[in-house]
């Protein structure tokens, strides 16, 4: 009975304080509605109450209301405690709900979770006020609340586990939306990260896998998108002991010098893992651009290994005795001789209009002088700069001719496809100059190499053939020029896409470092009425607006790109995208947006004065140039001006290549 008499007044005081706390919180919430920073409002409220606590006693005594001093001081202390709780809840909201557990700035945690945490904070504040301010016993309330907390804790155990696992994953940034990962043997692209689970979409099967945060947090994650977005993979094969391993490695590397999907830089690397019961085990690792090129790159690597083995008569270890197989290269030679013998070559030459007037004897002599070559991609028949050694006649397959467009041979454009019945190597043969093009097998191709002496002897016997060869070269040169222009534009588009990818990758990896500030600066920014990193945001939106204005009015695709790009770069954890889009529209609508003396370019000048500003603004501006496809001339000129204004390197695709202005 006595315990009940003690608890009832405590419950009454608790209810009174709860109502007062609710009223205070509602007033504070209304006060901060529409403002960016609740934390600043909380700090202002606490400061006001602290001043009131120091002044209310002397003030009431001065008025002769001594009897009210003690209760009013207690009331102010209680309000201060509630204010501190409001501040703590605001910090949790900014840092946790709208920060670490947000989906790039958009809150994903359910209201029931955020509300429960808020209620717990305020209840703790009320209990502390009851005990330390009003000297009321709270043992019974603590016992009751402890039982309730225990029941709720058991009920929400799995939910809390997922929430804290989500905090850990977001804090470490082990994976982000858009990353290609492998979790528990499941490969795919991170589709969504929320407060409870992670969704991974397999691009090859179009299946969606959902993992709980706790299940991901305690497992090994293979992230293909880190530390760079270039993928790296490997395969192993075993050489027979009779195959010199160094020769095999060197031969494979040589085959890959002109690869199309396996990246040439960085080069593939080889490791000899040791001896097995079958031979010498070798591992090769290579880089490729992204998931779209995964199988293309792996196919190219397998074909390069096969070509190198065949060219040097090396053998991959298999259980030949068990399978009853012999020398595969000898069998392949026999098959080739049967399918493309001298008679077959003469027959194919006779079908070509270039040799239509030659006698059967002439064609037979020409066929006898030929050497039949069969190559697999990415092997080449000749490379630029090699001396001309005759003509090449395609018996089957497809051979592509590539023209280097820079001195370092880093970029090439395809100018022609030579299919069955066609000749390549004409220009260097007729002009007696070194090879201008790279002749590369695009399929498994069989080609007859006609030596220089044999062709010139045939021309001396049949002078009309020389004229036909020149006419054929002239006709193909016109088409080659057209194809070169198309390929040149495709190369510029590829360079543009590569530059966008590279800048986006650098921005994503370094955004935390770029926006790093001293701890005091971050604290002051929370108390400021200004949007976080507003200077960075203004310069970024100014650069994007300049590019968008090159095509006219702002459209939805451009705004969607900004949302997506800033989310993927984790910029939305630092800035407000809605405020940024308002700035973007404002700058793009200005009449002087494209003028070097205008406000937009002036904002770029301010970016140069801030840490991280030039890199962020430049990356977003370059990304904006690809929203509607290949950049137009106005966009290229604008990105050149923006790059110079920000002190950044002008992208290669925006410059002139070989003295020719991009079209």
Domain ranges of the chain: 2-155, 166-223, 231-321, 341-462, 494-654
Strands 390-396 and 423-424 come out as antiparallel
Per-residue pLDDT for 47 more than 70?
A: yes
Q: Report yes or no: 491 and 422 within 8 Å, Cβ to Cβ.
A: no
CATH class of domain segment(s) 231-321: alpha beta
Q: Which of 81-90, 255-264, 465-474 has the lowest mean pLDDT?
A: 81-90
pLDDT value for 145? 55
Which stretch, 55-59, 118-122, 491-495, 524-528, has highest mean pLDDT?
Answer: 118-122
Higher pLDDT, 564 or 556: 556
CATH number of 341-462: 2.60.120.10
Q: Report yes or no: 237 and 282 within 8 Å, Cβ to Cβ.
A: yes
Confidence of residue 519 (pLDDT cuts 50, 70, 90): very low
Q: What is the dihedral of CA 255, 294, 228, 218, to 10 degrees?
A: -130
Higher pLDDT, 170 or 520: 170
Whole-number Cα distances in Å, 598 to 92, 340, 592:
41, 70, 5
Q: pTM to 2 decimals? A: 0.58
Q: What kind and span of H or E run contains 266?
A: none
Over the stretch 420-479, which tens digit does the pLDDT of each residue have?
A: 999 999 999 999 999 999 999 998 999 999 999 999 998 888 888 888 889 888 888 888
Q: Report yes or no: 655 and 540 within 8 Å, Cβ to Cβ.
A: no
pLDDT value for 168? 62
pLDDT value for 34? 45
Average pLDDT in the 65-76 region? 79
Over the stretch 481-506, which tens digit does the pLDDT of each residue have?
A: 888 888 877 777 777 777 766 666 66
pLDDT value for 530? 43
Query: For 198, what's the count of Cα atoms within 13 Å in the CB-facing half-sphere?
Result: 31
Per-residue pLDDT for 17 more than 90?
A: no
pLDDT value for 302? 94
CATH 2.30.30.60 fits 166-223, yes or no: yes
Per-residue pLDDT for 660 more than 70?
A: no
pLDDT value for 161? 63
Per-residue pLDDT for 130 more than 50?
A: yes
Please give the biggest Cα pair distance in the chain: 133
Over the stretch 295-338, which tens digit does the pLDDT of each residue have?
A: 899 999 999 999 999 888 888 887 665 555 666 777 777 777 67
What tokens were used for 107?
């809150």
In eight-state DSSP terms, residue 606 is H
Rg (CA), the chain: 37
Closest CA to 531 of 588, 589, 571, 586: 571
Closest CA to 399 of 418, 415, 416: 418
Average pLDDT in the 107-134 region? 74
Average pLDDT in the 101-120 region? 65
Per-residue pLDDT for 290 more than 90?
A: no
pLDDT value for 358? 85
pLDDT value for 382? 93
Confidence of residue 538 (pLDDT cuts 50, 70, 90): confident
Confidence of residue 661 (pLDDT cuts 50, 70, 90): very low
- Interatomic CA distance for residues 199 and 186, integer angstroms: 11
Per-residue pLDDT for 23 more than 60?
A: no
Higher pLDDT, 607 or 364: 364
Q: List strands edge to edge, sheet with 445-451.
A: 371-375, 445-451, 390-396, 423-424
Q: List strands edge to edge, sheet with 269-275.
A: 231-239, 280-288, 269-275
Residue 260: phi, psi to the nearest 5? -105, -30
Q: What kind and span of H or E run contains 416?
A: strand 412-419
pLDDT value for 181? 87
Closest CA to 217 of 186, 184, 178: 184
Confidence of residue 523 (pLDDT cuts 50, 70, 90): very low
Per-residue pLDDT for 286 more than 90?
A: yes
Average pLDDT in the 349-375 region? 87
Higher pLDDT, 558 or 98: 558
Calculate what percentage of the chain has a pLDDT beyond 70: 72
Q: Report yes or no: 566 and 544 within 8 Å, Cβ to Cβ.
A: no
In eight-state DSSP terms, residue 95 is I
- Interatomic CA distance for residues 10 and 4, integer angstroms: 10
What tokens were used for 351?
């079908």
Confidence of residue 389 (pLDDT cuts 50, 70, 90): very high
Closest CA to 53 of 23, 24, 80: 80
What tokens were used for 510?
């370094």
The average confidence (pLDDT) of the chain is 77
In the block, residue with structure tokens 């991974």: 200
**Partners of 419 in the β-ladder:** 398
Per-residue pLDDT for 239 more than 70?
A: yes
Query: For 649, what's the count of Cα atoms within 13 Å in the CB-facing half-sphere?
Result: 5
In the block, residue with structure tokens 């991170």: 190
Confidence of residue 662 (pLDDT cuts 50, 70, 90): very low
Q: Report yes or no: 89 and 121 within 8 Å, Cβ to Cβ.
A: yes
SS3 419: strand
Average pLDDT in the 580-601 region? 86
Per-residue pLDDT for 116 more than 80?
A: no
Confidence of residue 516 (pLDDT cuts 50, 70, 90): low
């Amino acid at each position: 009975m006595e315990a009940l008499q003690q608890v009832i007044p405590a419950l009454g005081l608790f209810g009174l304080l709860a109502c007062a706390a609710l009223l205070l919180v509602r007033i504070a919430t209304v006060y901060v509605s529409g403002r960016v920073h609740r934390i600043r409002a909380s700090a202002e409220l606490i400061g006001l109450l602290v001043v009131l606590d120091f002044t209310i006693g002397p003030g009431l005594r001065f008025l002769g209301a001594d009897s009210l001093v003690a209760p009013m001081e207690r009331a102010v202390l209680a309000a201060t405690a509630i204010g501190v709780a409001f501040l703590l809840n605001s910090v949790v909201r900014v840092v946790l709900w709208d920060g670490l557990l947000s989906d790039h700035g958009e809150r994903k945690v359910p209201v029931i979770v955020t509300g429960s945490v808020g209620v717990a904070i305020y209840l703790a504040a009320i209990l502390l006020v009851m005990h330390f301010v009003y000297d009321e016993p709270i043992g019974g309330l603590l016992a009751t609340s402890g039982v309730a907390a225990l029941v709720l804790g058991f009920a929400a155990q799995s939910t809390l586990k997922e929430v804290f696992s989500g905090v850990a994953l977001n804090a470490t940034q082990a994976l982000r939306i858009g990353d290609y990962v492998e979790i528990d043997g499941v490969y795919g692209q991170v589709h969504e990260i929320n407060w409870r689970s992670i969704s991974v979409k397999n691009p090859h099967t179009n299946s969606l896998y959902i993992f709980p945060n706790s299940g991901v947090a305690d497992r090994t994650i293979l992230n293909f998108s880190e530390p760079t977005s270039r993928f790296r993979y490997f395969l192993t094969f075993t050489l027979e002991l009779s195959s010199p391993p160094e020769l095999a490695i060197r031969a494979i590397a040589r085959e890959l010098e002109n690869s199309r999907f396996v990246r040439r830089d960085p080069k593939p690397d080889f490791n000899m893992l040791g001896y097995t019961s079958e031979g010498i085990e070798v591992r090769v690792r290579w880089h490729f651009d992204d998931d779209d090129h995964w199988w293309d790159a792996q196919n190219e690597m397998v074909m390069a290994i096969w070509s190198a083995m065949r060219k040097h008569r090396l053998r991959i270890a298999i259980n030949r005795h068990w399978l009853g197989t012999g020398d595969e290269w000898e069998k392949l030679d026999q098959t080739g001789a049967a399918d493309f013998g001298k008679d077959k070559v003469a027959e194919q030459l006779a079908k070509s209009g270039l040799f239509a007037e030659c006698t059967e004897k002439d064609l037979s002599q020409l066929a006898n002088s030929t050497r039949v070559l069969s190559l697999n991609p990415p092997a080449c028949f000749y490379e630029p700069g090699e001396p001309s050694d005759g003509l090449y006649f395609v018996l089957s397959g497809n051979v592509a001719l590539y023209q280097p467009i820079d001195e370092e041979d880093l970029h090439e454009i395809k100018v022609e496809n030579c299919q069955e019945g066609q000749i390549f190597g004409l220009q260097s043969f007729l002009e007696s100059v070194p090879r201008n093009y790279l002749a590369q097998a695009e399929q498994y191709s069989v080609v007859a190499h006609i030596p220089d002496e044999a062709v010139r002897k045939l021309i001396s016997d049949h002078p009309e053939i020389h004229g036909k060869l020149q006419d054929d070269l002239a006709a193909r040169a016109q088409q080659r020029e057209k194809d070169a222009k198309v390929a040149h534009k495709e190369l510029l588009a590829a360079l543009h896409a590569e530059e966008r990818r590279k800048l986006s990758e650098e921005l994503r990896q370094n955004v935390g470092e770029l926006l790093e500030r001293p701890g005091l600066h971050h604290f002051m920014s929370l108390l400021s009425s200004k949007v976080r990193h507003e200077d960075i945001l203004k310069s970024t939106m100014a650069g994007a607006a300049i590019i968008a204005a090159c095509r006219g009015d702002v459209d939805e695709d451009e705004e969607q790109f900004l949302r997506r790009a800033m989310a993927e770069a984790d910029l939305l954890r630092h800035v407000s995208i809605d405020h940024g889009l308002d700035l973007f529209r404002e700058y793009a609508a200005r009449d002087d947006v494209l003028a070097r003396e205008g406000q937009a370019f002036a904002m770029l000048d301010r970016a140069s004065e801030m840490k991280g500003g030039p890199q962020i603004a430049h990356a977003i501006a370059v990304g904006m140039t690809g929203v509607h496809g290949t950049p137009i001339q106005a966009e290229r000129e604008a990105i050149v001006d923006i790059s110079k204004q920000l002190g950044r390197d002008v992208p290669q695709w925006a410059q002139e290549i070989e003295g020719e202005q991009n079209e």
